[in-house]
Structure 1
Amino acid sequence: MNTDVAPRLGGWQQTWRLAAAAAVGIPTWLCVGVLLRWQEADPGSWFRVGDPLVALCCLTALLWRRRFPFAVALAVAIASPASALATGAALLALASLSARRRPVEIAVVSSAFVAASQFAVGLYPGAEPPAALWVQLAFPALTAGVAVAAGLALGARRVEVRSLRERAESAEREQAARAAQARALERNRIAREMHDVLAHRISLVAMQAGALDHRSDLAAEENRVLVRGIADGSRQALEELRDVLGVLRAEPDRPEPPQPSLDRVPDLVADARASGLDVTLTTTMTGTPSDVTGRTCYRIVQEGLTNAAKHAPGTRVQVTLEGSAGCGLGVSVRNSPATETGPRPPASGFGLLGLTERVGLAGGELGHHPTPDNGYVLTARLPWPDPAHERNT
């Protein structure tokens, strides 16, 4: 396995690791000195000077083990057998390299450590090497094996910790993405409801106000009718806005107010007609569709009338509803070219965009395009399953 999982160490972590390596070497160095005294052999200048200098060089080299792990570990493994005080440095170097979990590097450094230990015995006078070669190799091999096992365990632990950290970070990112998506969906829902509720009323009010502004030949009674229509439309817009805000602020277990349905389409057409829009409703349906289909149909007609009032003042609008169970529900809102001139509100396109999403969620298809006579038509096809056929299947 070829993975490098060694983390960057802080100053205090580096210090205590080197201190621990030195602390491990001191007892070994003292034991060698006691053994030499017990054998009545003079430790010599190497034990008192050379051994500590080699250990100091090994500990100093360990400062760069993170930047040059293989080179430092190999150098320390070759030099440390010549110094009893450098035993801890050799263990730390082998363990640090083994934590990287690279078998080839571990094998090379371990072999170098065992081989170098065979040439260091002669540095200590009075220390007679055993006769059997396997005995001479067993102790350094066992020491290297312990260090390698500790390093592999540390590397496995680091891999596990890193994996858990990545999983936690991934879960946090996914949670943040889901929260952002939920906020976006909620904003879209609020915007769609606001548009469906307010755009129709405000468009009718704007159309009536425009008539007051551009028609100077209206009688007093006609002016009063338009003013009363503006007042009623504004009041109804405020009431519907309050209803929408009430739904958005309601508790989860609080029932929502009744949603518009198919049977309210005639009222919608009547309101538009009372506001001055020339609207004709033609219905050739047999039966009653589901609530979702009826509510979507209501929103389609509402959007068509709103666009006609905003962008084609003085037009004639034909609303057609046709269909039956098993054949689907067809909705068409067609308006003729505009006959009145004046400033037009800007077209945002968000109404048709939200309506397309609403129709798609209901399983239908929406279409809209200009007609050859410069009018406009909004069409939709909504599903209307046959309950009898569903029961039979």
Structure 2
Amino acid sequence: MSSETGALGARRALGRWAVDTALFCTAVLFGLVTLGIVQESGEQPELIAEWDPVLGLVACLALWWRRRLPLTVALIGVPTVALASSALPAGVVIIVNLAARAPWRRVLPLCALYAVTVIPSGVLISSTEGNVGFDLAFGCTYLLAAFALGYALRSRRLLVERLRADAARDRAEHARRLNEARHAERRSIAREMHDVLAHRVSLLSVHAGALAYRSRRAADGGGPALSDVEVAESAEVIRGNAHAAVGELREVLSLLRSEDDAEGEAGEPVSLLRRIEDIDTLVGEAEAAGQRVETHRDLDERALAGLRVQLHRTAYRLVQEGLTNARKHAPGAPVTVRMTGGPGGELTVEVRNPLRATPGAPAGNGIPGAGAGLTGLAERVRLDGGTLEHAAAHGMFTLCARLPWPGEVRT
């Protein structure tokens, strides 16, 4: 990076030196031409004609410092331009440089000083009365044209700087939006992974916990020993849930690895677009793990097909989160799932369970909660325009979401 910066600085310095050299040579050349024309006309006084080449050379040499000292160079140019015809080309460069580089408060007084000295000087030096009008018009045009050119260059430079600043700001804004999009995508994937894995791992833990609980009771003489068939069935259930967890995790990870996944209406892989109808399968898996679940559904079944896919998924994830939390914090407690609503109103999904397990139930499965489930669920519901409430009161924990159900049915 430092070598590239040094090379760029060297190229810029070489370019500036080339421009300065070209301007100096041009000013000297045109100064000599102007001096020759004036001397041939014989209009200059003898004293001024003798000093004209010297003053012109001073004005041309001052051009080398015009970038660093624009005001000083402009002051040097006042007497030279006013008295020497050979300094007129260099004077154009000096005035243009002044108008292009110096601030307004310093440019205007110097421009007025040039007008006060250059215009009357040209009229007084002229020896022919018939050329007074021409000299007056030439002096005004000379100053106005040089100042206008410098102002135009200044405006162009400021415009380029603004465009560069706007481009840099746009790049920064684009980078910020891209970073926010990446964070949003990561949060979305984190929610999916939490919802999928927490549910499956809790089922695995329940089955494994029940197997360990009955084995300990049998070893302590508190119950019959498990038969080989029962152990095999429990192992098969654990194996099936482990395979299902791996498969669902692979579906989530496919979001990161490929852009060619088959996409559904919400822009996600079709296999991840859970629907309200899939809640029956979810409840069946929970009951197979020994969880007691009571389901109440009062929905307009015909209108479910027109409900937005995002609302289907959010309702599914809410029931999944509720069942998972019940298995973690109140194992053995009955769970009630209630869904109501119809077009033009709200889709209400509620999961309730006692705060503590029923007497005699096995101990908790020991899965620590990350605290991200309800947070991610609240974000899902908020993005869908709904509200989420969760509270523990009167010995019951209630998780309830209210989602808007549009009145028009999509076809």
Which bin holds the TM-score, normalised by the shorter protein?
0.7 to 0.9
1:32 to 2:24 alignment? no
Give runs of aligned pairs for residues 151-300 of structure 1, distance below 5 A.
151-215=150-214, 216-217=216-217, 219-221=225-227, 222-246=230-254, 249=258, 251=260, 256-258=269-271, 259-288=273-302, 289=304, 290=307, 292=309, 293-300=311-318
1:128 to 2:120 alignment? no
Equivalents in 2 of 1:326, 1:302: separation in Å?
26
Give runs of aligned pairs for residues 350-365 of structure 1, distance below 5 A.
350-365=372-387
8 Å contact kept, 1:94–1:109:
no
1:305 Cα deviation after fit: 0.7
8 Å contact kept, 2:282–2:320:
yes
Q: Residue 20 of structure 2 aligns with which residue?
A: 18
Q: Residue 98 of structure 2 aligns with which residue?
A: 97
Say how many residue pairs are matched. Answer: 377
8 Å contact kept, 2:254–2:261:
no
- Which secondary structure does the structure 2 equivalent of 1:382 belong to? strand
Q: Residue 336 of structure 2 aligns with which residue?
A: 318
Q: Describe the shift of the 1:167–1:253 C-alpha distance in structure 2 as closer, same or farther (beyond 3 A).
A: farther
Q: Residue 368 of structure 1 aligns with which residue?
A: 390
Equivalents in 2 of 1:90, 1:150: separation in Å?
13
- Which secondary structure does the structure 1 equivalent of 2:217 belong to? coil
1:377 corresponds, among 369, 384, 398, to 398
Give runs of aligned pairs for residues 320-339 of structure 1, distance below 5 A.
320-339=338-357
Q: Describe the shift of the 1:260–1:33 C-alpha distance in structure 2 as closer, same or farther (beyond 3 A).
A: closer
Structural RMSD (CA):
3.8
Equivalents in 2 of 1:35, 1:384: separation in Å?
92
1:62 to 2:66 alignment? yes
1:272 Cα deviation after fit: 0.9
Equivalents in 2 of 1:329, 1:287: separation in Å?
12
Equivalents in 1 of 2:123, 2:54: separation in Å?
13
Deviations 1:2-43 (A, max 9, x none): xxxxxx995335434433145323432454257547759978
> For structure 1, which runs of at least 5 residues remain unmatched after alignment?
1-7
8 Å contact kept, 1:114–1:141:
yes
1:368 Cα deviation after fit: 0.9
Q: Which amino acid aligns with 1:262?
A: I
Equivalents in 1 of 2:48, 2:298: separation in Å?
116
1:92 Cα deviation after fit: 1.7
Q: Which amino acid aligns with 1:59?
A: L
Equivalents in 1 of 2:177, 2:12: separation in Å?
36
Q: Describe the shift of the 1:73–1:10 C-alpha distance in structure 2 as closer, same or farther (beyond 3 A).
A: farther
- What is the TM-score when the length of structure 2 is the normalising length? 0.76
Q: Describe the shift of the 1:111–1:138 C-alpha distance in structure 2 as closer, same or farther (beyond 3 A).
A: farther
Q: Which amino acid aligns with 1:73?
A: A
- More divergent stretch after superposition (48-57 vs 182-191): 48-57
- Which secondary structure does the structure 2 equivalent of 1:235 belong to? helix
Q: Which amino acid aligns with 1:363?
A: G
Q: Which amino acid aligns with 1:115?
A: V
Equivalents in 2 of 1:129, 1:91: separation in Å?
25
- More divergent stretch after superposition (186-195 vs 289-298): 289-298
Q: Residue 3 of structure 2 aligns with which residue?
A: none
Deviations 1:222-266 (A, max 9, x none): 544432221111011122223334466352666643532222222
Deviations 1:303-360 (A, max 9, x none): 1111222233333322222344444332221122334546743332322222222223
Equivalents in 2 of 1:142, 1:387: separation in Å?
74
Q: Describe the shift of the 1:36–1:359 C-alpha distance in structure 2 as closer, same or farther (beyond 3 A).
A: closer
- Which secondary structure does the structure 2 equivalent of 1:217 belong to? helix
Equivalents in 2 of 1:169, 1:343: separation in Å?
55
8 Å contact kept, 2:387–2:402:
yes
Q: Which amino acid aligns with 1:265?
A: I
Equivalents in 2 of 1:153, 1:231: separation in Å?
79
Q: Residue 6 of structure 2 aligns with which residue?
A: none
Question: Between the two proteins, what is the percent identity of the paired residues?
Answer: 32
- What is the TM-score when the length of structure 1 is the normalising length? 0.79
1:131 Cα deviation after fit: 6.5
Equivalents in 2 of 1:134, 1:265: separation in Å?
98
1:267 Cα deviation after fit: 2.0
Deviation above 6 Å: which 4+ runs of structure 1? 40-45, 118-124
Equivalents in 2 of 1:10, 1:214: separation in Å?
80
Q: Describe the shift of the 1:353–1:109 C-alpha distance in structure 2 as closer, same or farther (beyond 3 A).
A: same
Q: Describe the shift of the 1:16–1:88 C-alpha distance in structure 2 as closer, same or farther (beyond 3 A).
A: farther
- Which secondary structure does the structure 1 equivalent of 2:66 belong to? helix
Q: Residue 77 of structure 1 aligns with which residue?
A: 78
